[in-house]
Structure 1
Amino acid sequence: MNLPNMTAHLACTAAFPALLAMTPVVSAEPSRFTVDSEHFSMAFEIMHIGYAPVIGMFREVEGEFVYDEETGELNSGTLVFQSESVFTNHKKRDDHLRAEDFLDSENYPEITFTLTDFEPTGENAGKVTGDLTMLGQTNPVVLDVTLNKSAVYPIGHEDFTLGISAETTLKRSDWGMTYGLDPALVGDEVRLRFGFEANRDSGWF
């Protein structure tokens, strides 16, 4: 190889890594994930007469969302809670929570959260904004979300699975739930904490 050809060859070789770096990466298609209701926990805390928080949960929930694993974009999603499934380990209190003073489960059996926006705040964290519909009223809510793990499940179904934590604080009076606010028997602020697994639907495209 003569000198001019060798020089051209070396120049092309040096430029090849830079060319690769500038080539756009084709991202994977977004996938639908279904919430695993057997591995879902949602706890709420609300103050009782200023003494101590009452801690409860909803035991029945369904949900799904569309997530792009390559780009980290969360495109859409919905969680649906059955209001009658509220549980605080006290039957009389749970019956009251299902009644008209609070959740009015007979007329409003579902509490729905629908995702409207997602803003990444870190490598595995972000803020999810969504519309929360309860008692026939809809208001925006922002959740602080952390992706704990994403991997093929090691046992059982062996699907690709996401593990997620989320939390937020809201005021129940924003949805017209004002029982016990005056006098201050039941707090207005409600702290919500979520932890759940969601499995990728391999049959969706």
Structure 2
Amino acid sequence: MTTVVRAEPERFRIDESHVSVGFLAGHARFADVLGQFTDVSGGFVYDAQTQTLVSGRVEVAAETVFTGHDERDGHLRGGDFLAVDAHPVIAFEASGYEPVDDRQGVLSGDLTLLGVTRAIELDLTLNRRGDHPIGGADTLGGSARGTIQRSEFGMDYALQGDLVSDAIELIVEFEAVRQDD
């Protein structure tokens, strides 16, 4: 007699002290500006045995954009870019994960920015899963990369002459802690 053991999807909460959502934006084709958001939260439901993502949501507080330059950060918060008063949250709603191997795959979902929702894909690497060396919590760590076109979200300031690039590289690093139900 054969017994089939099935894993159950597990709920993970993103560790807000160990998550980074960053971006690279080209400036006049001279160099890229590196920025990040300092307030990120969310979670997901994932079955590691079948590599199936059941659901996931990440929210970013748009007003927490930081590039290390106060005047530029103020401009990014304004109407030319993030319009944080009208659109305080940038949200990613995961819709699927297609594994390439045990550690890598493509994460798909809908990104809502400036009230516009578009499907995006991120290359995801699952770095490590195990008991965290500080506190022992069951932790899953990952890295995601992708590119969006900001014009697709209605952000067209300084596109002419490529003063600010249309292509924005996304950089995501996270640790997520398994939650007991």
TM-score range, shorter chain: over 0.9
In 2: Cα distance, 1:75 partner to 1:166 partner: 18
* Structure number with higher relative contact order (C-alpha < 8 Å, ≥ 6 residues apart): 2
Write out per-residue CA displacement over residues 77-124 of structure 1, whole angstroms, 9 at most, x where no aligned residue. Answer: 001000000000000000000000000000000000001121111111
The one of 105, 110, 129 aligned to 1:131: 110
Structure richer in strand, relative to its length: 2
Asked if the contact 1:169/1:189 (under 8 Å) is kept, the reply is yes
Asked if the contact 2:47/2:53 (under 8 Å) is kept, the reply is yes
Aligned to 1:30: 9
Gaps of 5+ in 2: none
Asked if the contact 1:27/1:71 (under 8 Å) is kept, the reply is no
Structure richer in helix, relative to its length: 1
Answer yes or no: is 1:54 the counterpart of 2:44: no
Equivalent residue pairs, number: 181
In 1: Cα distance, 2:140 partner to 2:81 partner: 33
Aligned to 1:122: 101
User: Which secondary structure state, in structure 2, belongs to the residue aligned with residue 148 of structure 1?
Assistant: strand
The residue correspondences of 1:80-99 to structure 2 (distance < 5 A) are 80-99=59-78
Aligned to 1:44: 23
Aligned to 1:171: 149
- Structure 2 length as normaliser, TM-score? 0.97
In 1: Cα distance, 2:3 partner to 2:98 partner: 23
Gaps of 5+ in 1: 1-18
Aligned to 1:10: none
In 1: Cα distance, 2:111 partner to 2:83 partner: 16
**C-alpha displacement of 1:182:** 1.4
The one of 158, 161, 168 aligned to 1:183: 161
Identity of aligned residues (%): 45
Write out per-residue CA displacement over residues 112-170 of structure 1, whole angstroms, 9 at most, x where no aligned residue. Answer: 000112111111111111000010100000010011100011222x2100010110011
The one of 172, 177, 181 aligned to 1:199: 177
Q: Which protein shows a greater Rg?
A: 1
Asked if the contact 1:116/1:131 (under 8 Å) is kept, the reply is yes
User: Which secondary structure state, in structure 1, belongs to the residue aligned with residue 121 of structure 2?
Assistant: strand
Q: CA RMSD in A?
A: 1.1
User: Which secondary structure state, in structure 2, belongs to the residue aligned with residue 96 of structure 1?
Assistant: helix
- Structure 1 length as normaliser, TM-score? 0.86
Asked if the contact 2:28/2:161 (under 8 Å) is kept, the reply is no
**C-alpha displacement of 1:24:** 5.6
